[in-house]
Amino acid sequence: MEKSARAVPGVLEADLNFATGVLALSFDPTSDPRKAVVAVVRAAGHGVEEVGEGGQPPSARTAPTWWQLHAHAATLVASGSLIAAGYALGLVRGAAAVADITFAAAALAGGSLTAPRAWASLRVRSLDMNVLMALAVIGAAVLGDFAEAATVIFLFSIGQYLEGRALERTRASIRDLVGLAPALARVRRGAEMVEIPPQDAAIGETLVVRPGERIALDGIVASGASAVDEAAITGEPMPVAKTVGDTVFAGTLNGGSLLEVAVSRVAADSTLARVIHMVEDAQASRAPVQTLVDRFTRWYTPTVVIGALLVAVAPPLLGWGAFADWAYRALVLLVVSCPCALVISTPVAIVSAITRASRDGLLVKGGAYLEVAARVTAIAFDKTGTLTMGRPRVTDVVPIGESDSARILQVAAAMEAGSTHPLAAAVLSARGPHPDGLTATGLADVAGRGLEATVGGSTYGLGSPAFALERGAVDAATTALIEQLETQGKTVLVLFDEHGAQGLIAAADEVRPEAAATLRALRSSGIRHIVMLTGDNERTAAAVAAHAGVTEHRSRLLPQHKVDAVRELAARYGTVAMVGDGINDAPALAASGLGIAMGAAGSDTAMETADVAIMAPDISGLPSLFRLGRRTVRIIRANVAFSIATKAVVLVLAVIGYAPLWLAVFADMGVSLLVTANGLRLLRRS
């Protein structure tokens, strides 16, 4: 189909997405060859429509006809009925000629789908399975074996029908995702409530989502509280409580209460839209083993066709038997040489695996990354937001001298007001409401190490112990207190003025509850080494590593140091995966063999940089990713080996005259169905 489309004047490139059944064209807009491409593809025997407004074909708005739904099945019924009638007539004395006519009609009926595709392939000089099957059927008819011709094309058509139905299971996953987006969004405009297509809603508008309805667009809850089912996005089966200020995603299901949502993304940029595009692109991508198979079949099929011609002609010329006998063997050789089982063995497994991963909240950007996942032997984790929750909270406020805890928090909160740093949020949350009226003036960020400002007429500094030490505000006793807190896995802020340290604020980022169990599961799945990389101090890093079960950790790392660490691990262990969640992790994600973005439902940078995106807000799905990668590679190898072995056996039997045409059809379509079914096993949860 791609070759047919590329042959149309004005078409620059054509790419057929195996999983979605979409033919994407790059063309010269001055000629606009889309209608010509539609005509060429239809002439090849395929149903095709030009995509209309909204990215859907016109027929998506109308119900398909009975014939459109059941044409293939009806043709099979007609062909099978004629074959049965032909064999019945063969039992009647003197009806042999009528039986042959009936078999010929059955062959024509069964070949009505194959012949146009074979002709289209010949026009672009491609020897595909349709061409080889058509040649075999014509050859059998020329040899006078009409029953054989009819049976072969009937079995082949049944195989194609069953294969198409099986592959439809994988394609349904995209339609299921698309169907999650409501056709209309209810928007409050002034005093009115209007229903509009989601693509017409603007950022900042207010969606009104009733209980039991799906949310049409990404946004922030502006009013109300409810439980939202996010399984379609994150793969998590349990509803998530949402209240004012929380993020909600398009395609998720509102539970029991009315929500008003401020739109934060347009429809084309929603999380659901990005998920759909990523899955489509991933399923369209070719894994390295698939590319290898495609290159192999380019010379394999022509070679076998030439071999079949030699089998038909050479032995009779050398006096080794009758021409009809060797011609029949050549026809068997043609049928069995169809590489369809070999060609389909990889893409059906890749598409199934990517579909399975997406159902589990893991977005794999292509089959190549599944192969990489199968080879991973070491994993590097970022600490904050990956092994930990990424939401630190204040655990200790330690006054020094005559200070008191409340005053320390009030001054620190005044200095941190307006900051987006996670520790700032923890300080503001610990202070609570703001009745004291303290404000900071002359605020200065000192080289990213701390803050200086005037609060209540006094000049204060707030920052890391190293920053306070530079300012001469830390004595031996204070240092001992800091070390004690850091040993407990806490990050310490020092508040000081010109007289020295006034107090310590310790915050802890809670280790994810699933971290330890996940790391144990990773080791049991074949991961040899796990290391934690962090920019935090050594004592905090050691405490988090011990709690999570990490055997090696590296602290005080800048982004470039994380890249160096990943490369060093790759030199020691081979393929390394990096798991991170922020912009500062992007270089390490790119440098790793497999970059995995954590919590991608809310991170554009992670979604774009990584090879795999975890949509759920936890890491428990990681072991299943690596198990899936290894299962995928095993199934692909088994499919390829089984396809080649079966072909080899039947090829030998064909040459020596022990393989009838029906056995050749089984070796072709039968094996295709078997490898397809084997690949579809990846749709099941491991």
Interhelix angle 96-111/114-123, rounded to 10 degrees, is: 60
CA nearest neighbour of 624 among 360, 350, 237? 360
Which residues have CB under 8 Å from 435's CB, separation 6+?
none
382 is catalytic: yes
**Do 235 and 243 meet the contact criterion of CB atoms below 8 Å apart?**
no
Indicate the SS3 state at residue 623. helix
Contact status, residue 460 vs residue 453, Cβ threshold 8 Å: yes
Going by their DSSP bridges, the two strands 11-17 and 22-27 should be labelled as antiparallel
The sign one gets for the Cα dihedral 226, 230, 234, 238 is positive
Q: CA torsion sign, 254 to 256 to 260 to 261?
A: negative
| Strand residues in 311-409 grouped as ranges (E) | 362-364, 378-382, 393-399
Q: Facing residues of 362 across strands?
A: 614
Q: Measure the CA dihedral 448/454/455/461, to 10°.
A: 40
Strand-pair partners of 226: 242
Catalytic residue among 128, 218, 382, 618: 382
CA distance 678 to 659: 25
> Is residue 313 within 8 Å of residue 334, measured between CB atoms?
no
594 with 622: CB under 8 angstroms?
A: no
Task: Measure Cα distances from 465 to 345, 420, 555 in Å.
Answer: 59, 20, 16
Scan for tokens 């995928």, then name that residue.
632
Task: Find all residues with CB under 8 Å of 116, minimum gap 6, and list them.
Answer: 43, 44, 45
The CB-side HSE value for 8 (13 A sphere, CA atoms) comes to 25
Rounded CA-CA distance 365/280 in Å is 9
First to last CA, the chain: 35
Kindly list the catalytic residues. Answer: 382
